[in-house]
Structure 1
Amino acid sequence: MPRNQTNNGDLRTPIVFYSAKINEGIDGRDVAYEQVYATFAEVYNPSNKDITIANSISTKASYTVKMRDPLNAYQPSNKHYIEIRDPRLIGTKYQIIDIRPSFDERQFLTVVVGGAIDG
């Protein structure tokens, strides 16, 4: 039975990774986002497995993102945020819930995002 493999034509949605830091302001509670990496990805609704992972940390999974593994250029962290640059979602940043390498297709990473915050 053939696997459902991802190819370059599936990586159509631009995504941007951000780190967050406290903005130097009067009250010290403003958050500033700094872009740390950008790429194209396949974005789709989360699977039951991804929803279960998100529920274990009391967060609602919003999307599953499959991207090429950037290797040493960038390592995603659950301290980072993702903005999916789709016209329907632009301006919303999502927390990274889970990061896992794809063992079927070794050149890809799967990232589960949720907990939307407005950028």
Structure 2
Amino acid sequence: MANKPTFEYQPPKVKTGDLRTPVEFYEYQANSGPEPGEKQDRLVHSCFAEVYSPSMKDRDVLNTVSTERAVTINIRDTKGEYLPSNKDYVLIDDYRYKDLMWNIVEVREDFANNAFITILLAVYGHGQE
């Protein structure tokens, strides 16, 4: 009798139950008057996310920018309803990140699984926008 190949189930790295922290994505525009800066324009997407410290791969990306703080988030893939852009800002609804507006540094789609999007966020250091 021939031996049958055995396959071991590999659970996904991220599960829906891991998405516990509310996040909101905002689109910003430059101020219309003579004053420099930006104003909060509109909420473009809100969802739940898994928030964690950046991995070594993420830290390599962060070496190119001056950051005060950084986190990585996983959100469910919106299937085109919302596409994260580095022009958007993110608010994380958690007491540890109160009053911080996060810039999107990098977006990584999972083409193999097509279930989640990984987003690297940072609060830029002084002198960068």
Q: What TM-score do the two structures reach when normalised by structure 1?
A: 0.84
Matched, 1:42 2:50: yes
Separation (CA, whole Å) in 2 of partners of 1:83 and 1:101: 20
Query: 1:82 Cα deviation (Å)?
Result: 0.8
Q: Is the 8 A contact 1:67 1:109 kept in 2?
A: yes
**2:19 corresponds to which letter in structure 1?**
L
1:62-101 matches, cutoff 5 A: 62-101=70-109
Which runs of at least 4 in structure 1 moved beyond 6 Å after TM superposition?
A: none
Change (3 A) 1:76 1:4: same
Q: Is the 8 A contact 2:54 2:70 kept in 1?
A: yes
**1:82 corresponds to which letter in structure 2?**
V
Query: 1:45 Cα deviation (Å)?
Result: 0.1
Identity of aligned residues (%): 33
Match of 2:38 in 1: 31
Matched, 1:54 2:68: no
Query: 1:90 Cα deviation (Å)?
Result: 2.3
Query: 1:4 Cα deviation (Å)?
Result: 5.3
Change (3 A) 1:91 1:116: farther
Separation (CA, whole Å) in 2 of partners of 1:89 and 1:101: 24
Partner SS, residue 73 of structure 1: coil
Match of 1:106 in 2: 114
Change (3 A) 1:45 1:53: same
Q: Is the 8 A contact 1:69 1:108 kept in 2?
A: yes
Change (3 A) 1:104 1:45: farther
